[in-house]
Chain A
């Protein structure tokens, strides 16, 4: 939008709204829960009256300050900054920044704005405010705008500002001229950095979400971020004005004096000064008649009157919590907002979509949990697309205590369970929660895992979140406390739906569930919830995964290929110990286990013994892995196979992720790599042994153990495997337990020799 057009539009809107572009406090627009006087109390806080008029520092809502301007020149478009300073009420309809130059003529106004703008742009280092250059996706930004909660206070950028009034939301029409996209993205990511008072809260956007949202909000319009460098003279003049106009009262800057106090709050009168219909020589907020009246009412009896209560209600209005949350008889999403609140668990009903009610919240939640939700970004409802934003502990840190003082439920203390009875109570709770009992897991996640039905609030969060009072009262009659909730009552009229457990005694059952959940993560997983392994999927590269496995020992390494043939290598002995086709491996990442792997189809199991012996051992029994049994579990030969000269040296990956294993056998250095043959022979795994020897010598390599038959020259089969020997002298001999051993005698040259084998799984 061209500058001139913006002007015209704003002027038109201002005119069309009946000269009513008053400072916009979203929580006050059409809020019937507050009296005129209470509305005025909120306005006094939101308009930061006490920054000039002293006397109520004790009111936590009177501590609001303006944005931190130390980096403002790095954030805002210079053109917008100038325009805003020239006439804030016109540049940004609804702003709470007053016009401080109402007594100046047009020329003075222009010069003053230029000087102030020069001064502000001189602040901050070149790169002090982050500029995110990566582009966002406006479509995703639009979805975020609709879902995370922006719409609680802001109309979509495309909506006409005329809609403001009925929807109690403010227009963002000015935004695209204000921010260059990179700065807007950084602002949206961390709004509290600039707006410390938290009226624009932090929605915990990731960097890419902030980019998407910014892209959507500026609608692809590049903002002219270039401007002439401010000159020193102008900067100094601006600095002087910044103090003279008392900007410092609301915008603290380092090395600047604090604001000049005006009349104390108790001396203020209605219709005078800022509250007059046409303020002159004082800040002009463009107050509406309603606002002037409300503030006038509110001045009566302040500040003592504020101590008599109502702070919760005022705070929820000032921060517009009521746009999303209801409490008692006020607040809650508007009909329009309700349409845009989404959930990924639709079956949970409106309670899965709408932010929770705050009625009795101080009696419901443990104080520690309220703090985490309000200030640390904690959330118990991952399915709810709307996010609980952070308003800053500095701003709302007083609220949790107020809630817990105001909200009371009948005292319910679960008595300490005697040690001897704990097992029984725990088991009862375990059963009740699972699908053999009341089947809470049908609709609730347990420790992040679902039984396959709805995925409501994680049951394991119960003990961290809820007070026993709430748990005991709510569970007996959920709909009494949260009307319309889909959660049924399992103890209607004191009668349990489970008549067996603990003899169907409602109190005992509730106690048992509470006790069971109090174990937190130590609570065993209830029936109905599984613990599956994780499948490792292969993309376009080979994949190496290390872990213990029945097919490769404790020092096992599995290697998967996109071609669908995979093998396992036992690094403890240097054996290619298994191969299989189809899917790769499933990994046990549940419980204590260290990620053991299992082939996802039946593997051809090969020997896991050391594969090499010196030729001098020809005719001798092959040295095999030490055997541990239940009776003799201690390794009887703990140095095997190191005492036979084997030493694992590691592996390296090529550009396709294919590993080459390195190990030593005596003075020999072995490089061992396997990969599928090219098509059409990709079902064959070709193994190459590259052996570096200091001298010419022979080496025994036991290639196969089992029921082996010689199919033809150099080709041997077992019921599961065909092995083709391309080099060396294969010899079959009888081994242990009626098995055969296929031993190949390799002739090593001095230096490097290479031997190749092809493995073909026959299943």
Chain B
């Protein structure tokens, strides 16, 4: 769950934050965004509290919602033009739900204490059987949140386990990710997690999770969850003796270096695949989902959509595997949500459902809880669709043709880079900034792709692209001018 616990929280873990934290201003693009992506509030009947933590779609256009209060609601009618949802209480009394999968009439619910199979045996619409599928981890601190995935193609589920009090690993496998096989075996697969907030496949089917800013993580990031990998925070090394399937703890990383140098020394260390520059791109990114709506949600098919708790925003991300290592870019998408976003789900009609709460941590949106639906209006925004790396620089694709002369002018592609200190301190500044020069632009005939040649590409750096002066064929500026590409590897020229 959310990362930003500071010292005071450590001392008074049960009190709400008492110091006041800056949540960061929005990008200021909401008024333009609404022409392309509308936010519709899903009305929740008076008296119901639905602090969504997890979603799963069900047959017959229904959606199940797992909540922080431990309820599972089954909802219909969310996709109507003007939603009139019904919320049937299917199960209650569970312990903070942050994972919901569904298979063969059964829910697989990740709650703080365990992964549970929940079914309704007598068919009265209320759950009556709660079978423990896995409780193969320790739970001894309120901040030890557990996030669960959907099924992978082989029928496995994955659970990402936050640290104790967000700093320590005092109970078994805190800071680890676990695989739960269809036979019910619980297998620890990776150490070094800090404060995960969502787990599932990226757009290529590889297992990813989100990590929150804090020690060993100067920004939030999307990370590839590699089996046998070490995800960066070494405090959970103490449980390797209980992970008989893995070789003993990795070498301790050295605090204060850079991840590019440390990953050479610590072979299990998996670098951040997509860094979300702190504040500019969220403060505590959360649940994510891949857009497989077959175009119903607009031009961003097969891309990752990811929420942010603190800033009540939704962003996009894309990933690619270069020289065997995952990396990619993130992009602003939509701001102005009413509450802290914990999870996202594409609905059957191809809209994006968001939900969450503002309980416990500072949040920009002021509602204690909300469900909101984002619909594509059908109007095409002018956006950076995707940034990919090339041996010489980057390929940038757009959702609309770029104005020819504007698109060919290297001055319209401004670049700056930074990296983070890889260290045990909480968060950290952006350092080692560079300002590479765009030496040439090659704009495709249809104006939909620009390939830029860059004076230098530095592994370990985040490349911030600012295309604020670029114009489309109708002289319109980009809806969001920025994109942020994390370089781990540079492809080799063919």
Contact = CB atoms under 8 A, between A and B. Distances in A.
A594 B95 contact: yes
Contacts, number: 185
B9 to A, nearest CB: 8
Chain A CB within 10 A, most for which of B13, B95, B362:
B95
A593 B39 contact: no
B113 interface: yes
Contacts of B9: 592
A458 B96 contact: no
A546 B94 contact: yes
B125 interface: no
Interface string B118-145: 0001100001111110010011111101
Contact of B21 (A189, A519, A588, A590): A519
B364 A521 contact: yes
Nearest to A536: B93
A638 B238 CA distance: 11
Contact of A593 (B49, B111, B131, B360): B360
Nearest to B310: A522
A426 B95 contact: no
B1 interface: yes
Nearest to A207: B84
Interface in A168-223: 189-190, 193, 202, 204, 206-207
Interface string A517-554: 00111111100000100000000000111111000001
A592 B143 contact: yes
A738 interface: no
Contact of B366 (A460, A543, A590): A460
Nearest to A547: B95
Interface in A364-381: 367-368, 371-372, 376-377
Chain B CB within 10 A, most for which of A377, A543, A555:
A555
Contacts of A689: none
A476 interface: no
A602 interface: no
Contacts of B1: 592
Interface stretch (B166-174, B199-207, B342-350, B412-420): B166-174
B81 interface: yes
Interface in A200-254: 202, 204, 206-207
Interface string B1-35: 11000000100011111111111000000110010
B23 A520 contact: yes
B170 A546 contact: no
Contact of A649 (B14, B131, B138): B131
Contact of A595 (B23, B39, B70, B131): B70
A377 B340 CA distance: 19
Contacts of B49: 589
B16 A525 contact: yes
Contacts of A49: none
A524 B366 contact: no
Nearest to B4: A522
Contacts of B171: 635, 638
A545 B93 CA distance: 4
B273 interface: no
A748 to B, nearest CB: 23
Contacts of A572: 135, 139
A639 B173 CA distance: 11
Given A376-B39, A524-B16, A554-B140, A591 B170 contact: no
B41 A521 contact: no
B172 A522 contact: no
A1 interface: no
Contact of B114 (A368, A547, A555, A591): A555
B31 A595 contact: no
Contacts of A546: 70, 93-95, 111, 113
B41 A639 contact: no
Given A448-B368, A555-B113, A634-B170, A524 B45 contact: no
A375 to B, nearest CB: 8
A361 interface: no
Interface residues of A, number: 65
Nearest to B118: A650
A137 interface: no
Given A190-B81, A519-B21, A592 B142 contact: yes
Interface string A456-499: 00101100100000000000000000000000000000000000
A697 B284 CA distance: 55
A204 B84 CA distance: 11
B194 interface: no
B359 A648 contact: no
A410 interface: no
A70 interface: no
Contacts of B164: 633
Chain A CB within 10 A, most for which of B21, B132, B363:
B132
A367 B171 CA distance: 49
A595 B366 contact: no
B336 interface: yes
Given A546-B111, A593-B142, A447 B366 contact: yes
B391 interface: no
Given A519-B23, A522-B21, A524-B19, A650 B130 contact: yes
Contacts of A638: 138, 171-172, 239, 242
A685 interface: no
B423 interface: no
Interface string B143-186: 10100000000000000000010001111100000000000000
Nearest to A427: B20
Given A571-B113, A638-B172, A521 B70 contact: no
11 contacts: A190-B81, A519-B21, A520-B366, A522-B361, A531-B16, A554-B140, A591-B14, A594-B68, A628-B170, A652-B129, A653-B128
Given A522-B17, A593-B360, 20 more contacts: A189-B84, A193-B81, A204-B43, A207-B84, A371-B31, A376-B41, A519-B20, A520-B366, A524-B16, A545-B93, A591-B16, A592-B360, A592-B361, A594-B96, A594-B112, A635-B170, A639-B242, A648-B135, A650-B129, A652-B128
